[in-house]
C-alpha cells in the first residue's frame, strides 16, 4: 500500500531525517566483495580550516552523482572521504587565535602549540564534513581518513625514506618561494600572482677601467642589486659583444662583477643587459649555475637586509629600496624611473609579497618520476575529461623542476631526518632517531625542525587511504580508483603529484579518469572571493531552497572543464521543478489510494501508455550513455525534460479521464494507474543521483515495501521495449494539441469553449493515426467532435486553421473569431515560413555546406525544406479561402 505525501514539499522536513536514515542503515558503506565489481572515488580532502563554498558544493555534488549512479548499477561503490591537515593554513589560523588570547606561539614552544592544533582539528575540522552531509554526500564516513592520522603518517614516512634511499630526495640550496611574514617556504600552489603598480628603475653600472662608460640595466627590485654577481647579455647581441668578459663596478658596493654571455637574455627586451642575482631570482639562479657564479643571499627571513648589505643592513626591503634609489640618484647612476604594472607573487594566506630566495631545503628530484607520469598518460592509463586538459598535464610535466618539500612549520609531518651532534651526519630512517651514528658511532641526534609540504602527504591520498604500505584487502580490491573529480586549477599541484607518487610506489596510475570541472562564478561572471564580497554560502541556499535544488542548479548546463554562472533565478527554477515532481507524485499516490493494481495485458495498454514506456526506455539508454561519458549536465537535462514535459505535462494530463472513470472502464483505469506508478518509479531512479532527498521520500511512499531508492536497481534499456509506432502517434497528437492551443491563445478563445476539429491530410497513414487515437488528444485540444478526412470538402470558409507537419486542422469558429484577425495571423505565418524557406534554400545551395556537413545533417535539412514547403502551400491555400470568405 502506498503512503500519502505531505501537501507541500518541505525540504527541511525531510532532508535531515533521510540522511540519518541512510547513514544509520549503512548504505554508504562499501566492503570488499569479490562478487561485485568495485567502483572507487577518492574525495579531494577538504582543509580542516575550510568552510563549504560553491566550489566544494559543485565538486562533491558531481562525485555524489557518480557514486550513487554506480551504487544503483550494482557496483561495490566506495567514495573514500577524509580531511587534509592544511599545514600552513591551520598554523596561521591557530597562531592568530592564540594571539587573540595573548598567547605567543614561540613562547609556549612546539609541543604545546601542537596540542592547540589538535584541539583545533577536533573543534573545527568536523564542520566541513557536517556541511558536506547537508549537501547529501553519500561518502563512506566509516572509512574517513585524515592526512595526519597514524596510517597516513606511516605512509608519508615510508615514501620519504624510500625516495631518499633511491636518491630522489636530497637536501640542497636552491631558489624557493619564501614568505617573510609566515617565515616558511611555500609551494607554487600557495603563491597567488596579482597585478601591482610598480616601476622599472634604469641604473648605470660603470665598466671597470673605462671612465665614463656604463651598461644600463632595468629592474623592478633595485634592492636586489646588492646580490648581483654578473650582468648578462645575449651572445648574438653585437652591441655588447666587446664587453663580454669585462668587469663592472657594482654600484653602492666595493665589489666587481663580470659581463657574461647567455642565451637566456632577450636582446629585444629592455636594454638587452640583465642583472643576474642568483640567490633571488629563479631564472638568474639557473644562469648562475651554468656560469658557476657566486650566490649571495642579501635577505634575512623577515625580509630585512642582512649584514652583507653594509649601511642598508637591518632595513626592511622597501625601506632599503627607497634609500638605495636615493643614493643611486645622488651618484648620477639612476637613469630614469618608468611606471610598470607587473604580476607579483603573494602568499595566498597572509597576502605578503613572496621573496624568491636561495635557502637550504629538502627537494624531490623530478626528472625520472615526471617522465614516468608522462609516459603513463601517453599509454592511456589515465585520461582527462575533457581531453584537452591533457595538454596542460603534458606542459607541466615537460617543464617540471625539482620540488621543494620542506616547510618551516610546526604543524605537519616532521621530516624523518636526524643530525648527528658529534659529526653532522644526516641519517634518514623510519621509526625515530637511530641509537648510534653509522659514521662516528655517536649517540646524540637532533631531528630536522622542518615539516613536509602538505602536498607531499595529499599526493599519497588515493593509496594511503586504502592502507598502503600494508597490503590490505581494500588496497587490492578498490585500487586503482576509477575517477578523480577536481578543478582545472589544481592539475599541476595535486593531480600530477598523485600520478608520479602512485606510479613510483604502487606501479599503477591512481585513477583511470580525471573529470575536470570549472569554477562557479557569480551572475556577472566574476570569480567568487572575499575581497569582492560576491560569495554565496551554499548552506544558506540549502536552508532556503533545499539541497536538491542547489544540486540541480549546479549540475544543470554544466559541461566538463567549463566555468558556470550562479543565478538565484536558476535555484528558484530548480525548486519549482522539485515542487512539480512532488505535486505530480502526490496526485498519483492519491489516485492509487485504496486501489488494487495488477499488471495489464499488452492489449489493455492504450497508445499513450505504450508511448510513455517507450520514451522512458529511450531516456534510460541516452541518460546512461551520458553518465558513462561523464556528461552529467546533459544527463540531468534529459531526465528533467522527460519528467516535466512528457510525463507530467502530457502523459498525466492524457490519462486523467481514464483515472476519473474507473467504474466505466476499470481495465483502462488499471492500465493507466499501473503505468503511472511504474514509470514514476523508474523516472525517480534516474533522477535520484541528482536529487537524492526528494526521490527517496517519494519512492519510499510509492513503494513502501522497498528499503531505499539508494539501493534500488538502475533502470536498464531494452531494445524490445522500443515502440516507434506509439511514439509517432503521440508526436502527431502533441503537434496537434500545441497548434490548437496556440491558435486559441492568439484568438483569446476561453478554455470552456469547445470546438469541432476537422483534420485534413492526404496521407492515409496519418489519417489512420488521428482516427484511432482521438481520445489521446481530443480532451487536451478542447474538441467537441473530431472529423478526419482527406480533403477540405465540407469545411466552411469561416473555419480557422492550424498547420502541422502532414496535416491541417480546421476549427469552425467563425462565430467566435474575427476572420480579419485570422487573415492577419496567417499572413504572419506566411512571412515566417518565407524566412525559413529562404534559409533552408540558402543552406542547400551552399556547396561548402553540402560537401562538409555530415550526411545526416544535410538529409535533415532537406526534410525541413520539404516540411516548410508543404506548410507554405497549406497556409497559402488557407489565406485564399479566408479572403474568399471575407469577400462574400
* Whether residue 127 has a cis bond before it, omega within 30° of 0: no
Q: Are the beta carbons of 249 and 205 closer than 8 angstroms?
A: yes
User: Rounded to 5 degrees, what angle do the CA atoms 738, 578, 707 make?
Assistant: 120
Q: How far apart are CA 604 and CA 611, in angstroms?
A: 14
Parallel/antiparallel/unpaired status of strands 807-811 and 755-760: antiparallel
Q: How many residues does the chain have?
A: 888
**Residue position matching grid coordinates 638568474:** 284
Q: How far apart are CA 413 and CA 406, in angstroms?
A: 10
**Residue position matching grid coordinates 547537508:** 134
The secondary structure of 628-694 as a DSSP string is HTT-HHHHHHHHHHIIIIIIIIIIIHHHHHHHHTTTT-HHHHHHHHHHHHHHHHHHHHHHTTTSHHH
List b or e across 853-879, with b for residues whose CB sees 16 or more CB atoms inside 10 angstroms.
Answer: eeeeebeebeebbebbebbbebbeebb
Instruction: Give Rg (Cα) of the chain.
Output: 37
The secondary structure of 770-817 as a DSSP string is HHHTHHHHTTTTTEEEEEEESS-TT--TT-EEEEETTEEEEE--TTTS
Q: Are the beta carbons of 695 and 684 closer than 8 angstroms?
A: yes
C-alpha dihedral, 429 to 433 to 439 to 441, nearest 10°: -150
Instruction: Tell me: is residue 530 an annotated ligand-binding position.
Output: yes
* Whether residue 469 has a cis bond before it, omega within 30° of 0: yes
**Residues with Cβ < 8 Å from 774, sequence gap 6 or more?**
783, 786
237 grid coordinates = 647581441
For residue 172, what are the β-bridge partners?
A: 361
Q: How far apart are CA 152 and CA 139, in angstroms?
A: 19
718 grid coordinates = 531494452
161 grid coordinates = 625514506
194 φ, ψ to 5°?
-125, 145
Q: How far apart are CA 632 and CA 777, in angstroms?
A: 34
Residue 304: helix, strand or coil by DSSP? strand
**Residue position matching grid coordinates 625580509:** 303
Burial (0-12, 13-18, 19+ Cβ within 10 Å), 236: exposed
The 3 state secondary structure assigned to 118-179 is: HHHHHHHCCHHHHHHHHCCCCCCHHHCEECCCHHHHHHHHHHHHHHHHCCCEEEEEEEEEEE
**Residues with Cβ < 8 Å from 437, sequence gap 6 or more?**
420, 422, 423, 425, 427, 443, 445
- Cα–Cα distances (Å) from 135 to 538, 542, 543, in that order, read 9, 8, 11
Parallel/antiparallel/unpaired status of strands 426-428 and 273-276: unpaired
- Cα–Cα distances (Å) from 506 to 96, 403, 499, 500, in that order, read 40, 20, 10, 10
Q: How far apart are CA 331 and CA 768, in angstroms?
A: 102
345 φ, ψ to 5°?
-75, 130
745 grid coordinates = 491563445
Q: How far apart are CA 487 and CA 495, in angstroms?
A: 10
> Which residue ranges are tagged as binding site?
530
> Which residue ranges are tagged as binding site for ATP?
530
Amino acid at each position: 500500500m502506498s503512503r500519502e505525501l505531505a501537501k507541500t514539499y518541505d525540504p527541511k522536513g525531510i532532508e535531515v531525517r533521510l540522511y540519518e536514515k541512510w547513514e544509520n542503515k549503512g548504505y554508504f558503506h562499501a566492503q570488499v566483495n569479490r562478487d561485485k565489481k568495485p567502483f572507487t572515488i577518492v574525495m579531494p580532502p577538504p582543509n580542516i580550516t575550510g568552510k563549504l563554498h560553491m566550489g566544494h558544493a559543485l565538486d562533491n555534488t558531481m562525485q555524489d552523482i557518480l557514486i550513487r549512479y554506480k551504487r544503483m548499477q550494482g557496483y561495490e561503490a566506495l567514495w573514500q572521504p577524509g580531511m587534509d591537515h592544511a599545514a600552513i593554513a591551520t598554523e596561521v589560523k591557530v597562531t592568530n587565535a592564540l594571539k587573540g588570547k595573548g598567547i605567543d606561539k614561540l613562547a609556549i614552544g612546539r609541543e604545546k602549540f601542537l596540542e592547540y592544533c589538535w584541539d583545533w582539528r577536533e573543534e573545527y575540522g568536523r564542520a566541513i564534513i557536517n556541511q558536506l552531509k547537508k549537501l547529501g554526500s553519500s561518502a563512506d564516513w566509516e572509512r574517513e581518513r585524515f592526512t595526519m592520522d597514524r596510517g597516513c603518517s606511516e605512509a608519508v614516512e615510508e615514501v620519504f625514506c624510500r625516495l631518499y634511499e633511491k636518491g630522489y630526495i636530497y637536501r640542497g640550496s636552491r631558489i624557493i618561494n619564501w614568505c617573510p611574514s609566515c617565515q616558511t617556504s611555500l609551494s607554487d600552489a600557495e603563491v597567488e600572482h596579482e597585478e601591482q603598480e610598480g616601476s622599472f628603475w634604469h641604473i648605470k653600472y660603470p665598466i671597470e677601467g673605462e671612465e665614463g662608460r656604463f651598461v644600463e640595466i632595468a629592474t623592478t627590485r633595485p634592492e636586489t642589486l646588492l646580490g648581483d654577481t654578473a650582468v648578462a647579455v645575449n651572445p648574438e647581441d653585437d652591441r655588447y659583444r666587446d664587453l663580454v668578459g669585462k668587469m663592472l663596478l657594482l654600484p653602492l658596493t666595493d665589489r666587481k662583477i663580470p659581463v657574461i654571455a647567455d642565451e637566456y637574455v632577450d636582446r629585444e627586451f629592455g636594454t638587452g643587459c640583465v642583472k643576474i642575482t642568483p640567490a633571488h631570482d629563479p631564472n638568474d639562479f639557473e644562469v648562475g649555475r651554468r656560469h658557476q657564479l657566486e650566490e649571495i643571499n642579501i635577505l634575512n627571513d623577515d625580509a630585512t637586509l642582512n649584514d652583507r648589505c653594509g649601511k642598508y643592513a637591518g632595513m626592511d626591503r622597501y625601506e632599503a629600496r627607497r634609500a638605495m634609489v636615493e643614493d643611486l640618484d645622488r651618484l648620477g647612476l639612476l637613469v630614469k624611473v618608468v611606471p610598470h604594472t607587473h604580476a607579483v607573487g603573494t602568499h595566498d594566506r597572509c597576502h605578503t609579497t613572496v621573496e624568491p630566495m636561495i635557502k637550504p631545503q629538502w627537494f624531490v628530484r623530478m626528472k625520472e618520476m615526471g617522465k614516468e607520469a608522462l609516459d603513463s598518460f601517453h599509454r592511456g592509463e589515465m585520461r582527462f575529461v575533457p581531453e584537452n586538459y591533457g595538454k596542460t598535464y603534458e606542459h607541466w610535466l615537460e617543464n617540471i623542476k625539482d620540488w621543494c618539500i620542506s616547510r618551516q612549520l610546526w604543524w605537519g609531518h616532521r621530516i624523518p631526518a636526524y643530525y648527528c651532534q658529534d659529526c653532522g651526519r644526516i641519517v634518514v630512517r623510519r621509526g625515530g632517531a637511530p641509537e648510534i651514528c653509522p659514521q662516528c658511532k655517536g649517540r646524540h641526534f637532533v631531528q630536522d625542525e622542518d615539516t613536509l609540504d602538505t602536498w607531499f602527504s595529499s599526493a599519497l591520498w588515493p593509496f594511503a587511504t586504502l592502507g598502503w604500505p600494508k597490503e590490505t584487502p581494500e588496497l587490492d580490491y578498490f585500487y586503482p580508483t576509477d575517477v578523480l573529480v577536481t578543478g582545472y586549477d589544481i592539475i599541476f599541484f595535486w593531480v600530477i603529484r598523485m600520478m608520479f607518487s602512485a606510479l613510483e610506489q604502487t606501479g599503477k596510475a591512481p585513477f583511470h579518469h580525471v573529470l575536470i570541472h570549472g569554477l562557479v562564478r557569480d551572475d556577472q561572471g566574476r570569480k567568487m572571493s572575499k575581497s569582492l564580497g560576491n560569495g554565496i554560502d551554499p548552506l544558506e541556499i540549502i536552508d532556503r531552497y533545499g539541497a536538491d535544488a542547489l544540486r540541480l542548479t549546479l549540475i544543470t548546463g554544466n559541461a566538463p572543464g567549463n566555468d558556470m554562472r550562479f543565478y538565484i533565478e536558476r535555484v528558484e527554477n530548480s525548486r519549482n521543478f522539485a515542487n512539480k515532481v512532488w505535486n505530480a507524485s502526490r496526485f498519483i499516490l492519491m489516485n492509487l489510494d485504496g486501489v488494487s493494481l495488477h499488471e495489464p495485458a499488452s492489449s489493455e495498454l492504450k497508445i499513450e501508455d505504450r508511448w510513455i514506456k517507450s520514451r522512458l526506455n529511450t531516456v534510460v539508454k541516452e541518460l546512461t550513455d551520458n553518465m558513462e561519458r561523464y556528461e552529467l549536465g546533459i544527463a540531468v537535462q534529459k531526465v528533467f525534460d522527460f519528467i516535466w514535459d512528457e510525463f507530467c505535462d502530457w502523459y498525466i494530463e492524457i490519462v486523467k479521464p481514464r483515472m476519473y472513470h474507473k467504474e466505466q472502464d476499470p481495465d483502462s483505469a488499471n492500465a493507466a494507474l499501473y503505468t503511472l506508478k511504474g514509470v514514476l518509479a523508474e523516472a525517480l531512479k534516474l533522477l535520484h543521483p541528482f536529487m537524492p532527498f526528494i526521490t527517496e521520500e517519494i519512492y519510499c511512499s510509492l513503494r513502501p515495501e522497498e528499503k531505499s531508492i539508494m539501493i534500488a536497481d538502475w533502470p536498464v534499456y531494452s531494445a524490445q521495449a522500443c515502440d516507434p509506432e506509439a511514439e509517432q502517434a503521440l508526436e502527431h497528437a502533441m503537434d496537434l494539441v500545441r497548434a490548437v492551443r496556440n491558435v486559441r491563445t492568439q484568438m483569446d478563445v476561453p478554455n470552456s469553449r469547445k470546438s469541432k476539429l476537422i483534420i485534413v491530410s492526404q496521407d492515409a497513414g496519418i489519417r489512420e493515426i488521428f482516427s484511432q487515437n482521438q481520445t489521446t488528444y481530443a480532451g487536451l485540444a478542447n474538441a467537441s467532435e473530431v472529423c478526419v478526412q482527406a480533403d477540405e470538402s465540407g469545411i466552411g470558409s469561416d473555419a480557422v486553421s492550424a498547420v502541422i507537419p502532414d496535416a491541417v486542422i480546421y476549427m469552425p469558429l467563425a462565430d467566435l473569431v474575427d476572420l480579419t484577425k485570422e487573415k492577419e495571423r496567417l499572413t504572419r505565418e506566411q512571412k515566417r515560413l518565407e524566412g525559413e524557406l529562404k534559409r533552408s534554400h540558402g543552406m542547400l545551395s551552399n556547396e561548402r555546406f553540402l560537401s562538409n556537413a555530415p550526411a545526416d545533417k544535410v538529409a535533415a535539412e532537406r526534410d525541413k525544406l520539404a516540411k516548410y514547403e508543404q506548410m507554405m502551400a497549406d497556409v497559402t491555400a488557407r489565406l485564399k479561402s479566408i479572403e474568399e470568405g471575407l469577400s462574400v
